[in-house]
Structure 1
Amino acid sequence: MDMYDKNAVGERIRARRKALDISQEELAERIGRVPKFCADIERGQAGMSIETMLSICSLLKLSPDQLLLGASNQAANSNEAELIIDALKQCTEKQRKDAYALLKLFLTAIR
């Protein structure tokens, strides 16, 4: 059985938060907690309630399994794809077309 590792959970929260370009202060505000508590969670110095964990999972677009036990490579790749899709959703039509052209160029170059 896997054990709950507060340090590993905190590292996963920090890594995902940074990947989504969310500050600790914004994370705290959006889940209704104080920044010091979020910092303590990320450092593995504090646990969290189920409600806090679910709020963090929702905000960071992680499943509780991914947060608590770590993501498999397949799940990590899925998360990267979701981040790309989320970024593209914020683009204009022209920006999406340009991004697609760059991606095609890149993929052709690495073959």
Structure 2
Amino acid sequence: MNTYDKKRVGQRIRARREALGLSREQLAEHIGRVPRFYADIERGQAGMSIETMLSIGGLLKMSPNEMLFGQDNDGTNHDEIENILAALNQCPEKQRKDALELLRLFLSAVG
């Protein structure tokens, strides 16, 4: 069963915003909210209206399912993908290239 976890929602929103290179202030301005309120959403200290959620989702290209539960409508678990990418980003370049090559080999053997 999916539950609404404001902190996780805020973490997902922040991760996507940072990946897109937007500041909190820029995003708040684009959705017509004050930066303090938007920052509270990212910290999981404030909920948001459906209108605000749709505005954020539209700007960040996130579906409500992805934002709320970390899964897109097709069942893709974006939290798992973000964890994998974060782990790869912490690896030295050679290790990251080796890991990607192993993944390619694995996927070609499965498919």
Range into which the TM-score falls when normalised by the shorter chain: 0.5 to 0.7
Paired residue secondary structure (1:15): helix
Match of residue 3 from structure 1: 3
Match of residue 85 from structure 1: none
C-alpha distance in structure 2 between counterparts of 1:63 and 1:9, whole Å: 12
Match of residue 92 from structure 1: none
After TM superposition, the score normalised by the length of structure 2 is: 0.66
Match of residue 69 from structure 2: 69
Contact 2:70 2:77 in 1 (8 A): no
Match of residue 87 from structure 1: none
Number of aligned positions between the proteins: 84
Paired residue secondary structure (2:62): coil
* Alpha-carbon offset, residue 2 of structure 1: 1.0
After TM superposition, the score normalised by the length of structure 1 is: 0.66
Structure 2 counterpart of 1:15, which letter?
A
* Alpha-carbon offset, residue 12 of structure 1: 0.3
What is the aligned-residue identity percentage? 64
Structure 1 counterpart of 2:9, which letter?
V
1:37-83, CA deviations, whole angstroms, 9 ceiling, x for partnerless residues? 0100000000000000000000000000000001368464xx99xxx
Match of residue 58 from structure 2: 58
1:14 equivalenced with 2:20 (yes/no): no
Structure 1 counterpart of 2:59, which letter?
L
Match of residue 25 from structure 1: 25
**Structure 2 unmatched ranges of 5 or more:** 83-96, 105-111
